[in-house]
Amino acid sequence: MSSACRASGITDGTIGLRARVPLHRVESAGGPGARVDPRARYSRHVSSPTAPAALSLAQVRRVYPGGRVALADVTLRIAAGEFVSLLGPSGCGKSTVLRLLSGLDLPTSGTISRDLPDGAVPGYVFQDAALMPWASVRRNVELPLMLRGANAQQMRGPVDAALRAVGLADSADAVPRELSGGMKMRASMARALVMSPRVWLLDEPFGALDEITRFALNQTLLSLCKPLDGGKPATAVFVTHSVYEAVFLSERVVVMGRPGRIVDEVAVDAPYPRDAAFRATPKFAALCAQVSDALQRASVAEAGA
Ligand SMILES: Nc1ncnc2c1ncn2[C@@H]1O[C@H](COP(=O)(O)OP(=O)(O)OP(=O)(O)O)[C@@H](O)[C@H]1O
Ligand SMILES: [Mg+2]
């Protein structure tokens, strides 16, 4: 389904809590990566202007009540199967871009388009794991299915699969206070994964984690985004403040500046799957330097504005 939401407030309706999602799709929730050879190399190479767009913003402006300009004029096209990171100083509008792409917010002017299968919703992972503190990991992960009317029997398979995929199978009965920060983020990813998203929107999900846990979760995320059944990899828009994380994960790093605009883009031309060896390459170091430089230029331009 192709959809466009304009300033008129028209949305595609896929975000409603009661949106029906065929449960047979959910059965494969924990499967991403399971049906392909984990060592198989693949390239995205989809950021060409002719590749079909999964998500796009055209001349989008978002002014909050009170006059705060969160996005001045953003045009961004994300191809189906592309992994794009958004990087930029605090307050430059990264979270606003994600909210607009998810349909949780509407632009003041401009056009947002999403091309999602019927009934599909993007998997949205927030910076804070936002788990229900009184409920077990299993109950938290069941939530999106419950809201769509699934019964206990229908939920068991997909929830087990999602918990296995993020490495939490042994913690299904724990409550959030018994989990480490990394485990909470894994539970949050499982809650999104249970709906089998092929479009992920991730807002600094690993910002509060130590380096080693962050590396491990970067790897988990890439494996959840792998191509399924010979198809395309999942589409992902990932917000981060870490230059290294952006380069490691992405096919393209988009650098934003204040007020709400895109100032540069850096292509990361390296095949997937990526692993620790990629971080040790001269190419990785050169790309990180290039992205840092773009960030630096964004802040200098801002200071001089
Ligand atoms: N609900 C709101 N009402 C008014 N202003 C808002 C609202 N949400 C965000 N803003 C403002 O819009 C601008 C962009 O906010 P946004 O949260 O998108 O930035 P960000 O790049 O995600 O920042 P950070 O890196 O700190 O998360 C900021 O100036 C912020 O203060
Ligand atoms: Mg933010």
* Ligand 1 pocket member 94 (CB < 6 A): yes
Q: How far is the CA of 272 from the centre of ligand 1 (A)?
A: 33
Q: ∠46-52-57 over CA atoms, to 5°?
A: 100
- How do residues 100-109 score in pLDDT, each as one tens digit? 999 999 999 9
DSSP 178: G
Rg of the chain's alpha carbons, rounded to an integer? Answer: 19
Go through the domains of the chain in sequence order and give each one's CATH number: 3-123+214-304 (3.40.50.300)
Protein residues placing their CB within 5 Å of the ion ligand 2: 95
Q: What is the pTM of this model?
A: 0.85
Q: What is the pLDDT of residue 24?
A: 31
Which regions of the chain are under pLDDT 50?
Answer: 1-36
The whole-angstrom separation of Cα 156 and Cα 101 is: 30
Q: What is the pLDDT of residue 21?
A: 35
Kindly compute the dihedral angle of the four CA atoms of residues 201, 206, 208, 212, in this order, to the nearest 10 degrees. 180
DSSP labels for 182-222? HHHHHHHHHHHHTT--SEEEEESTTTTS-HHHHHHHHHHHH
- How do residues 155-166 score in pLDDT, each as one tens digit? 999 999 999 989
Q: How far is the CA of 91 from the centre of ligand 1 (A)?
A: 5
Distances in whole angstroms, Cα of residue 264 to Cα of each of 208, 223, 290: 26, 28, 10
Counting beta carbons within 10 angstroms of the beta carbon of residue 191, is it exposed (0 to 12), middle (13 to 18) or buried (19 or more)? buried
Q: How far is the CA of 98 from the centre of ligand 2 (A)?
A: 9
Nearest ligand to the C-alpha atom of residue 255: 1
Q: What is the pLDDT of residue 303?
A: 57
For the CA of 260, the nearest atom of ligand 1: 14
For the CA of 68, the nearest atom of ligand 1: 5
